[in-house]
Amino acid sequence: MALPAGRERRDLARREAIVRRITAEFRELPGLVLSLKQASRFLGVDQAACARILEGLAQAGILRKTDAQTYARREPNH
């Protein structure tokens, strides 16, 4: 069942705000390295949504995912 258009836009706006916040946290704290569970708790985002957002940011080259399954800011030389 499709969501009403207003609800869909609201959710998209909320998701974009969360993405901006997560990006800002990693930008402002360059040494920040978090597991999915830590990121979810630190950022106040449920784990499923946090996983999707972190993976998207890693695919976009904003974050990097380590072999230990943690996320950190991608530095320009990586």
Confidence of residue 67 (pLDDT cuts 50, 70, 90): very high
pTM of the predicted structure, to 2 decimals? 0.80
The fold of 5-73 is Arc Repressor Mutant, subunit A (1.10.10)
Average pLDDT over residues 37-55: 94
Cα separations (Å) of 43 from 23, 57, 75, 76? 11, 15, 21, 24
What's the whole-number average pLDDT of the chain?
86
CA atoms within 13 A on the CB side of 59: 6
Name 25's bridge partners: none
| Residue 72, C-beta contacts closer than 8 angstroms, at least 6 positions apart | 26, 32, 33, 34, 63, 64, 66
Q: What is the mean pLDDT of the segment spanning 22-44?
A: 94
